Structure 1
Amino acid sequence: MPSAAQEVLADWSLPLWLTLSLLAIAILYARGWYAIRKTRPEYFHVLRLISFLAGLVILWVAIGSPLDGFADAMLSAHMCEHLLLMSVVPPLLLYGWPVVPLLRGVPSALRPLMIPFIRSSFLRRLGHWLVIPLVAWLAMNLTYLGWHVPAAYDFALEHEDWHAIEHMCFLGTSILFWWCILKPWPSERHSRNWGILIYLISADVVNTMLSAFLAFCGRPVYSYYLNRPNPFQISSADDQVLGAVIMWVLGSLAFLVPAVLIAYRLIETKDHGSSRPLPEARRATVHS
């Protein structure tokens, strides 16, 4: 293994605060999931528990494992990190329908402290506004583009606190984006229409444009990497192309696979609806 890679691994240490925080969230969710499963077993099946816990594990891998150290030295590793935060962790967490299990998991002695926040009409209105599709789409994609502006990107890598804020921005806005697709209970579950495909495909267009620029611009865009040794002896230009390909291919799959599945469901629903027999009263009217 190259010495630079060994140095990254040697510099890594277990992020205790992050690890304990994610472990506490996992315990709260599992406790609440077990409680609510007693009354709603058909909704809170084991797959939801596995999905939520997997989301927490992958979140730890993205920002708590040695991957975060490699992301400081390689653009391609940084893109893998961003991909996990934006396209893998949010759907896994949201498929677990986390709102009610997390609330139910809080010890009863602490629940009175949460009542003012739960009953706050301002927070409810803010929450509903944030998951309006246009708002969520703009939040995620503007955050994605904004942090990839060279000055912002380099600044985040040079300042560890801002790097953490960058990660929180990616994760938070991506949760809003995927919320509009998965609609975790108990949020209102309106029937899907073809507009959700525009929502997904237009996000893929943004991802494709940025990836294509990084792949074909012919020069290193981020000066941060020019002054640091690559752990695997890859040139800055080649590392940038590799990162762009990761963003382009895997990032597009994260948008297009759900789009295809949703389109199939919409077509299937439409076909079943058109073939459904007319009620007796309507058939009598038609035949008359």
Structure 2
Amino acid sequence: MDFSDVYCGPPPLPQDLWFRWSFDPFAAVLMITLFGSWLLWGRRDAVGRSALMAAMALIFVAFFSPLCDLTTALFSARVAHHVILIGVIAPLVAIALPWRTGPLLPLSALALLNGLTVWLWHAPSAYEWAIIGAGPYWLMQLSLLATSWLLWREMFSPLARVGAALIALVAFIAQMGLLGALLVFTPFPVYAPHLATTAPFGLSALADQQLAGLLMWVPAIVPYLLVGVWLVLRLTNAFVAHRPSGSAR
């Protein structure tokens, strides 16, 4: 494969990785846009400010640090990049830019939309197309971020029905687990751009793909599980608060 047009640059070697910092103008525009949106519509308390700053820091790590270049060499690094985007950056943005006027779609539809977006960009043909050139690359990144933000935004809404939110979480976790399992148990590598790029890092293309599947299968679901626990506690507290007190004897 010709790596001259790959968005994050040619695959790095391990000894050169630390020197592969770069400036991404599109990521800079994303950060400026998020900050401007926060000034206009964001949560302006300490929690909102902290969430925004954490999201900005992680965007910097994801797109300016050597992680971007490493995704050219390792599919597992690409999956880690996507996990950070949809499972950490997106909920932080949802906290900083919270629910205001109501969801565009029901929670179940948002979970389906986000899940389909994840599956689309991890299909081998779509993936190979998306890493070439700024347009396809940022279409992938922004669609993953936007659909994840919409889902997290509704999850965190004080008006969201806890039962519906838990069902959507379970469904999303299940599809992530299924995709991760497919990557782990497929007996041959399916991502052509990485067939000849993993060896310098001590991995075969198949081992790299299996590592990516494990990342999607286990660590990727941790934020969703934590929010699920929070929703259960919220439901329990609501039940206790509305429970009739016992009559005095």
TM-score clears 0.5: yes
Partner of 1:211: 180
Q: Could you list the runs of 5+ residues in structure 2 that have no partner in the other structure?
A: 1-11
What TM-score, normalized by structure 2, do the two folds share?
A: 0.83
CA distance in 2, matches of 1:16, 1:164: 11
CA distance in 1, matches of 2:196, 2:173: 32
Contact 2:51 2:96 in 1 (8 A): yes
Give, in angstroms, the shift of residue 133 of structure 1. Answer: 1.2
Deviations 1:196-223 (A, max 9, x none): 1111011000000000010111211211
> How much is the aligned-residue C-alpha RMSD, in angstroms?
2.8
Question: Match for 1:137: what amino acid?
Answer: A
Residue 268 (str. 1) matches residue 233 (str. 2): no
Partner of 2:119: 145
Question: Match for 2:77: what amino acid?
Answer: A
Change in Cα spacing, 1:129 to 1:17, as seen in structure 2 (3 Å) is closer
Partner of 2:130: 156
CA distance in 2, matches of 1:143, 1:18: 20
In percent, how many aligned pairs have the same letter?
25
Pairs within 5 Å for 1:236-251 = 236-251=205-220
Give, in angstroms, the shift of residue 47 of structure 1. Answer: 2.4
Partner of 1:15: 24
Pairs within 5 Å for 1:198-237 = 198-237=167-206
Partner of 1:172: 146
Q: Could you list the runs of 5+ residues in structure 1 that have no partner in the other structure?
A: 37-42, 101-123, 184-188, 284-288
CA distance in 2, matches of 1:17, 1:191: 33
What TM-score, normalized by structure 1, do the two folds share?
A: 0.73
Partner of 1:193: 162
Partner of 1:59: 59
Change in Cα spacing, 1:59 to 1:276, as seen in structure 2 (3 Å) is farther
Q: Structure 1 residue runs of 4+, over 3 Å off?
A: 6-12, 23-29, 97-100, 275-278
Question: Match for 2:35: what amino acid?
Answer: A
Change in Cα spacing, 1:229 to 1:91, as seen in structure 2 (3 Å) is closer
Question: Match for 2:220: what amino acid?
Answer: G
CA distance in 2, matches of 1:21, 1:206: 28
Deviations 1:110-137 (A, max 9, x none): xxxxxxxxxxxxxx8xxx5634213311
